[in-house]
Each structure stands twice: as C-alpha cells, then as structure tokens.
Amino acid sequence: MSEFDVIVVGAGPAGASAAIKLASAKANVLLVDRADPPGSKNVSGGVLWGDSLSQVAPDWEKGPVERYVEAKGVSFLTKDSRISIDFRSKKFGEYKSGYTVLRTKFDAWLAKKAKDSGAMVVSGVTIDKLSMKDGKAIGVEQAGETITADAVIIAEGANSRVAINSGIKKKPSDRHIALGIKEIIKLPEKTITERFGLSSAKMGFASEYVLGFLDGGVKAGGFLYTNKESVSIGAVISMGDLRNNNQTYSFNIIEQFKEHPFIAPLLEGGRVEEYSAHLVPEGGLAVNSIHGNGYMIAGDAAGFTFSNGLVLQGMNYAIVSGIVAADSFLQKKEKGIGAGANFSNYTDNLSKTFVLKDMKNFRGVDAVTWSNSIHQTIPAIAEEAMLNMFSESGEPKEHLAKILFKSLKERKESKKDLAMDLYRMMRRM
C-alpha cells in the first residue's frame, strides 16, 4: 500500500492543475514544490492564453490575474526601425485571448486551490529523483528516503532535474532550450493604460518582437506584456547563437532591447523591480516518452511549449497536460490498476488534445523562428521597402515588387535560403 495515490512534483500550472483535479476526485495526493512559498521560483513571460484552467478552477479570472489582452502586437525591430502588426479587436470580448499574470502570485493562488481541494501541499522540499523498483516508479526519493505513491506526475518545469536524475530525460542541448531573461518595470496603472492606448485599467497589451539588431547578430525574440502596475519585458535568446558568438553577455541583451528607440519610450519613468531568468523549452518534445511505469511527465518538463514567432505559449499546454495526467491516473484507478501502472493512456488521451496535436503539426517550426530570414533578411528588406514607399524623393516611383527584388539583390544572404525559409514558413507556421 503506497503512502499516496499520486505525488505531483512541482507546483506550477501543470502540477497544481493535476493536484486540484486529483484531490477533487478524492484521490490522496501530495503536491510538492522545492520553493517556499510554492511557486516562488517560477517564471514566465507571461500571458496565460485560453480558458483551459476553468476545468479545474472555474473562477480563475477572478483570481490574481493582471490584465486581459485586448491588443496584440508583433514587431520586427531593426537598429533604426520598427515594423509592426498591432492587432486590436472588439471581438476579443467574444473570443478568448489571454490574461497577463505574475507567476509568484498566480502559482501561490493555484497551490492554495489544490490545498483547498484536499491535496497535501508541501513547499521548500526538493525531490531528488524517482524511486524505481523492478522498472517501475514506486514513488520519489527525498534526502535518501522514499515516499511511496501509486503514480508520480513530474511537473517540475524546464530545468527538470528529477527527470534527468531518473534517467528519463537527457540534459538539454542548445537546440532544446532557449534562455529567457525578464525584468519587471514598475509604472503607474494610469500611465500603462494611457501609454499603450488601452480602453481601461483591466485591459492589456501583449507583444512579441524579433530582435534583428543585436550586437554580433545574436538571435533573440523579445516580449513586452502589460500588468496592472508594471510591464514584463524580456528576451528569449538562442543558446546556439549565443555560443557561436561567444562575446555577448546574455544579461546585456535585454538592456539592448530596452534601449531600442521604439521600446525605451514605452518604459520611460519606470523602475526595475525584479530581474529573473528561466529556461524556455524549444524544439518540441523534450523526452522520448511522456509516460512510463508509474509516472507521467507534464508541462515544460515534457517540452510542451508553442512558439511560432507570433505568439509564445506554455502555461495553457501545462494546464491541459496536468489535467489529462490526472484523468489518466483516475482511469487506471477506476479499473483497479494499482501501483506502477503503465500510463500509455496518458499519451493516448493527450494525443486527442491540442497539446500533442500542436506538437506534431508544428514540429520543425523552430527552424523557421530562429532562421536568418526571420531575424535579418526579412526585417532588412521590409525596412528598405517601407522607407522607399513612405518617402518622397522627387524621383519616379517604382513598383513594390521591383523595390523588394532590388533590396533582396543587395543582401549577401543566399536567395535560396530565403526561398527555403519562406517555404518552411508557409508549411510550418
């Protein structure tokens, strides 16, 4: 007889959602987080897209959310220019966009929900690895002791030491992670609402950026999200590019972003309140299998993130995978299958959701999002085309196609590469 039905490692959106679901179904569940209070080591951009959380926390929009995204931007930044899509729609009232959240507050609230649902929540305790017996997980090891459970849900995030220590995940390579660096900039609520042209203090702006101007050509994406009384600004840096460059400090990249002529005015008068860094899973599934005998892997630990350059998502994938993991345990339990069950039903169940469908359909999208075309060629050509179109030189005007072709001809990158990237973009984005 195990001490717990399920031990959930990690109190982020995946782990807390799993714990709430399990505890609500009267399972005996332990949710354990290595931070104290739970969630105080968690970081994300962060916009929580969609409404998946309502399955376990119907009142979540009344929880500690910051602003509802009513304006969404995507921009290319070159040294001197910004080329943007700024999408605003009254229809965001009918469609679900997302809420900006601050994870320390938000995750503590979710962990409290888990506790109120009947889960045992323990914080400040570090799990070392799965406890294995005859090829099955029988619980977890903590400081040399085994805590037994019929199942373990690993939801420990992008830096997955339990999975690595248990031999079920490899140490990530440059291809499988990017480095996220973020700052919280304090600004008055009213200033944010006015500066970003928002319709009220409840409404927010979220934008992604391609940072095509960085020193040494290091590739990074940027993000800027409005909270109630602060702005979350950050950069997601390609590890491979940073390594090849080997002379740019990661912590200076976000400063270059903040100092850009079209970003600095948005932050004017703001004060840095917090600096943080976190890994971002990249390049699809992070493990060979998301299930095994007696365990399941959910959220960032499994590599469930989505990024196509226009939007960055992770928390919604985490939530759904956590809930499906919980459901998959309950399925086995109902059938009377006890400790160490093979949770292939988790993979099957998750295959029916957008989580694994997106993973499959968008495999290889990172080759596009980190391509030279996206980061250098397209912004440069677009900048030149715009300057040509929107300025008056007194010369006869040229057709757009000719302008584009001319500026492309002047670029040193191969046209073949651009054509290939455009083809990939059409197929994979």
Partner 1 sequence: MKIEDRLSLLNYKIDKSYEHITVNPSICETCPDHFCTFACPAKCYSLIDSKLNFKYEDCVECGTCDTACSHGSVAWTNTKGGHGVKYKFG
342 part of the interface to partner 1, by CB under 8 A:
no
| Rounded distance between C-alpha atoms, residue 258 and residue 91, angstroms | 31
423 part of the interface to partner 1, by CB under 8 A:
no
Smallest gap from Cβ 148 to partner 1, in A, equals 21
Question: Binding pattern to partner 1, positions 256-275, x when CB under 8 A?
Answer: ----------------xxxx
Instruction: Using the minimum distance from each CB to partner 1, give the nearer residue, 10 or 340.
Output: 10
368: tokens are 């596009």
Of the candidate spans 19-27, 37-45, 304-312, 376-384, the one that interacts with partner 1 by CB under 8 A turns out to be 37-45
Q: Which of residues 170-199 bind partner 1 (CB under 8 A)?
A: 171-174, 177, 179, 181, 183-184
Of the candidate spans 187-195, 196-204, 276-284, 287-295, the one that interacts with partner 1 by CB under 8 A turns out to be 276-284
Peptide bond preceding 197 in cis form (omega within 30 of 0): no
90 part of the interface to partner 1, by CB under 8 A:
no
305 part of the interface to partner 1, by CB under 8 A:
no
Q: Choose which of 5, 107, 327, 421 interacts with partner 1 (CB under 8 A).
A: 107
Smallest gap from Cβ 44 to partner 1, in A, equals 8
Q: Which of 223, 214, 280 is nearest to 74 (CA)?
A: 223
The amino acid at residue 102 is L
What lies within 8 Å, CB to CB, of 314 at 6+ separation is 44, 280, 281, 299, 300, 304, 305, 306
Question: Dihedral of CA 248/313/166/11: which sign?
Answer: positive
Of the candidate spans 246-254, 326-334, 378-386, 397-405, the one that interacts with partner 1 by CB under 8 A turns out to be 246-254
222 part of the interface to partner 1, by CB under 8 A:
no
Question: Binding pattern to partner 1, positions 112-151, x when CB under 8 A?
Answer: -----------xxxx----------------x--------
143: left (phi over 0), alpha (psi -120 to 50) or beta: left
| Rounded distance between C-alpha atoms, residue 6 and residue 123, angstroms | 16
What lies within 8 Å, CB to CB, of 22 at 6+ separation is 5, 6, 8, 29, 119, 326, 329, 330
302 part of the interface to partner 1, by CB under 8 A:
no
Of the candidate spans 69-77, 237-245, 404-412, 413-421, the one that interacts with partner 1 by CB under 8 A turns out to be 237-245
Smallest gap from Cβ 428 to partner 1, in A, equals 25
Instruction: Using the minimum distance from each CB to partner 1, give the nearer residue, 13 or 294.
Output: 13
Instruction: Using the minimum distance from each CB to partner 1, give the nearer residue, 149 or 184.
Output: 184
276 part of the interface to partner 1, by CB under 8 A:
yes
Smallest gap from Cβ 354 to partner 1, in A, equals 25
Q: Which of residues 344-373 bind partner 1 (CB under 8 A)?
A: none
91 part of the interface to partner 1, by CB under 8 A:
no
Q: Which positions lie near partner 1, rule CB under 8 A?
A: 34-36, 39-44, 102-105, 107, 123-126, 143, 158-159, 161, 171-174, 177, 179, 181, 183-184, 230, 239, 242-243, 245-252, 255, 272-279
